[in-house]
Chains A and B, each alone.
Chain A
């Protein structure tokens, strides 16, 4: 009995310290910077427009395509089981390549090698929809980039880019997202730039968009020249942002103003 009580007490202490750890984590998802109306839109799976894309992605998941005549489901089965936690790890090193790729690229690797079908257009609706569907399977799970030397090198490169001043305004990402997060830039609250909600449905875009697209927006905003499509810089920044958000729960697919 005493032992049981001790165990309960210890469990209580453990839970309490966990709660304290969470309460003292200064990192905030962009979700928390939104007003209650947009938060409710994101929370309601029948009001969040990104869920339309998830539904489309679920249909693609079950579609047999390519000369292999296989669907994603033929190999991966129930996505709720096989894709659980996957999006929380990417960008990551994945076969047959020997370098980190993002989730969209990983899905396209399956398209071209395993399904023998043409790759889906980068950042096109079909790939975004599949990515949103795969990412949803990690909702609530902590972001957990794998320990990997190649990924670590890319994260370090991303960290440099994040701190480097660029563009006509001579700003770095950190100027806004570290030094001035929580303050206002025109009508918008500057978020801490955590990639927890991607792909997002952004009302301004009236569309689902990738983290890359968000980064391009910020580059244009700081009057820097966006890197060309597929440039390694985007992947490096993504890898760094995921590492910086390590342990934060994924809340994708998000809604943003």
Chain B
């Protein structure tokens, strides 16, 4: 199980701008560093992060090896309807993590 910390409102007014903050534990190994044995440690990064709101994509970003370990992402989106926001991280070595946020829009 991925280790994730998310900060998002539980409720919002329709049309409001809401901020979603998400932190995930991940080494973001660049693929450029030699290990203790002198050999390059294979790249192991999160490549993509996305968010859907009731299935509709509201945010997407590509990540690169220049991003530090345990990446923190914050983004804004407009509150449309009650439902579920799904945050999804995917990357090297088959890495996939999902986090669901229930939000009530009034």
Contacts and interface: CB of A to CB of B under 8 A. Distances in A.
Interface string B13-24: 000000001011
A56 B69 contact: no
Interface string B60-77: 000000001110100000
A256 to B, nearest CB: 14
A47 B23 contact: yes
B3 A56 contact: yes
Contact of B23 (A49, A56, A203): A49
A46 B23 contact: yes
B55 to A, nearest CB: 25
A206 B69 contact: yes
A130 to B, nearest CB: 14
A52 B23 contact: yes
A49 B25 CA distance: 8
Given A51-B5, A52-B3, A55-B3, A46 B70 contact: no
A52 B72 CA distance: 11
Interface string A3-47: 000000000000000000000000000000000000000001111
A47 B25 CA distance: 12
Contacts of A53: 25
B6 interface: yes
Contacts of A55: 3, 5
B68 A46 contact: no
Interface in B53-96: 68-70, 72
A207 B27 CA distance: 9
B3 A46 contact: no
A207 B5 CA distance: 16
B11 interface: no
Nearest to B5: A46
Contacts of A203: 68
A47 B3 contact: no
Nearest to A50: B70
Interface of A: 44-47, 49, 51-53, 55-56, 203, 206-207
28 contacts: A44-B7, A45-B5, A46-B5, A46-B6, A46-B7, A46-B21, A46-B23, A47-B7, A47-B21, A47-B23, A47-B72, A49-B23, A51-B5, A51-B23, A52-B5, A52-B23, A52-B24, A52-B70, A53-B25, A55-B3, A55-B5, A56-B3, A203-B68, A206-B28, A206-B68, A206-B69, A206-B70, A207-B69
